[in-house]
Amino acid sequence: MCGIAGIVGEREGARALIETIAHRGPNGIRVEESEKYSLAHARLSIIDLEGGWQPLHASGSTIIGNGEIYNYVELAEDFQLKSKLATGSDYEPLLHIYAQEGEAAFDRLRGMYAFCLIGCDGRTWLVRDPFGIKPLYIHARDGAVAFASEPRAFGRARVVPAISNQVAALHYSLENETAWPGVIRLEPGEIVEIVNGEPRRHRVRAQIPPPPRGEGAGGGGRSDIQAQAGRPPTPPSPTRGEGAVLAQLDRVLEDTVKVHQRADVPYGLFLSGGIDSTVIAAMMARLNERPVVAYTCGFEAEGARDERVQAERVARALNLDWNNVSFGEEDFWTIAPHVAWAMDDPVADYACLPTYKLAQEAKKRLTVVLTGEGGDELFGGYSRYRRAQRPAWLGGRVAEPQTDAIFGTAALDRWREAAKDRASSDAHADLKVRAPLSALQRAQAADIATWLPNDLLLKLDRMLMAHGLEGRTPFLDSEVAAFAFHLPDNLKTRGKFGKYILRAWLEKNCPAAEPWAKKMGFTVPVASWIAPRAADLAQTLPQVEAVRAAANAETIRAIFTDERHAASRYPLLFLGLWGRIHTEGAAPDAALASLLAA
């Protein structure tokens, strides 16, 4: 994982861009300039520590990339590239395959990535992985196209009312437009070709592969030996029994965790105590001879929901090297402004706070961590999914984000449009034609298109990369998605349980997780920490343009004086910090001091 930046159509300028995001690549920066481009790469060394430096050249093509291509071993074998490879980089096989089949090579990739490829055929591409795990931003200017892993590379942000309103209400923004003038973010799966100095959308790949064809789809299209080599069997047919599906799930999980562990540096995981991270922990414990290093964050506040008890029980059962990280009120006020600095593309999700501290602690021992993001979206974990399946007379309703009515309906209306637009895009045409989606699948697809890339994955990227730590998401894998999304609904939700099939797998493979017990849940007690300073914030936050763009002064004061709206205080505090830092140029600590100085 790294930071990339460049300008196609200009011979210099990439160094200035990359230096603003040098935190993404603590191992060093390489810059390459020519008559046609300027490229820069800030490296976090993960695979081939000595030979994997970029820009990388092979078969007449050049590439700089952020992230990992997990199936590089299989690609090298399938295309018989061993004698051609000059490095052990996970990106080099792509260059040789591109020389053979052009942009069709992009469809062969399994991983998290954002890259610029200047091809041997003279074509130039910007490509982002289908789930949007890794970010990429572009800015077209004067016959050239600049790009970077973070928008801060392009200078000072501005206040965009639509974005501020979405961040306040949804906690993230939806449009490709960013707060940086002229800068847009590529969609998940988007492939852009730069033609005559202009970015042109080539196509967008769907996150969810279409369902398998025919009854034989679930039955041994590939062997277990191939599965162990990173080529898992095709998804199960809905007609197969639960036992066979569990066996298939086991193979899919083993394969995805195995390839996500490919690294030449120490790796571990974030363990929350919930279903998703425990599944990853159980599989990692199976695959590793030494105890797996795991980190769990808990909160020092009265009445706070805390999953450390469950996490410790799992850690003992799996013989993990478990590390307990505490987060209290002092941590909140220390870390919050640095979270706002790191989240240059604004996300007001309070889960950023413990993620930042976990990354800070994990970096002392690790370079890579595996996490459970995507498990809820692919396996049907959220309670709102179960509500979406009920008829209206039993309380059923469309699975939409919960927003405070005090912010109005504009953000929610835009969310509905974004979910509809993405679901109806050409990228999902094959999926829709071959299998009409159930109410549950529609709810899953909406989250995969909106909340997942624009909140959860941005949070993971920025919080970890602020510390030079790589985060990997084994659930967000093309093979796992092909398996999970097309499972029958009753293997995802059943009765009061979501993620039914994952719970059934845990019951067999890690009973200490108590997968059928009621979970405490995950809540960061930000409201109790903000309360003592609420009066000060009611006076200072209306002075910040980014906050005023989300709510007027009267509404802001109501939020900070009326306990009924206490849950809306952190998003406005975040916007205040974000605005001071990214639009006014304040340092993180100074930004906080200005808001507490009423």
Judge whether residue 34 has pLDDT over 50: yes
**Helices (H) and strands (E) in the chain — how many of each?**
25, 17
Between strands 111-118 and 137-141, the pairing is unpaired
Q: CB under 8 Å to 493, separation ≥6 — which residues?
A: 380, 385, 386, 389, 440, 500
Q: Each residue of 411-446: pLDDT tens digit?
A: 888 888 888 776 666 555 555 545 678 999 999 999
Global pTM? 0.93
Please give the share of the chain, as a percent, with pLDDT higher than 70: 91
Q: Each residue of 442-490: pLDDT tens digit?
A: 999 999 999 999 999 999 999 999 999 999 999 999 999 999 999 999 9
Across 251-259, average pLDDT: 98
Burial class (CB in 10 A: 0-12, 13-18, 19+), 132: buried
Across 553-579, average pLDDT: 94
Amino acid residing at 240? R
Q: Each residue of 539-549: pLDDT tens digit?
A: 999 999 999 99
- Cross-strand pairs, 296: 324
Euclidean distance between CA atoms 469 and 472, whole angstroms: 10
Specify the pLDDT at position 553.
92
- Cross-strand pairs, 564: none
Specify the pLDDT at position 69.
97
The tokens for 35 are 């008559």
Q: CB under 8 Å to 495, separation ≥6 — which residues?
A: none
The tokens for 152 are 């801060």
Specify the pLDDT at position 431.
52
Q: CB under 8 Å to 20, separation ≥6 — which residues?
A: 150, 152, 153
Specify the pLDDT at position 215.
33
Euclidean distance between CA atoms 207 and 477, whole angstroms: 9
Q: Which range, of 281-290, 331-340, 382-391, 543-552, averages the lowest pLDDT?
A: 382-391
Judge whether residue 227 has pLDDT over 70: no
Q: Each residue of 111-169: pLDDT tens digit?
A: 999 999 999 999 999 999 999 999 999 999 889 999 999 999 999 999 999 999 999 99
Residue 132: helix, strand or coil by DSSP?
coil
Phi, psi for 436 (deg, rounded to 5): -55, 135
Q: Provide the pLDDT confidence category of residue 214 given band limits of 50, 70 and 90.
A: very low
> Do residues 67 and 112 make contact, with C-beta atoms less than 8 angstroms apart?
yes
Euclidean distance between CA atoms 124 and 117, whole angstroms: 6
Please give the share of the chain, as a percent, with pLDDT higher than 90: 80
The tokens for 556 are 């802001």
- Cross-strand pairs, 65: 115
Reduce the secondary structure of 95-130 to three states and give it as a string: HHHHHHHHHHHHHHCCEEEEEEEECCCCCEEEEECC
Across 579-585, average pLDDT: 97
Euclidean distance between CA atoms 291 and 272, whole angstroms: 17
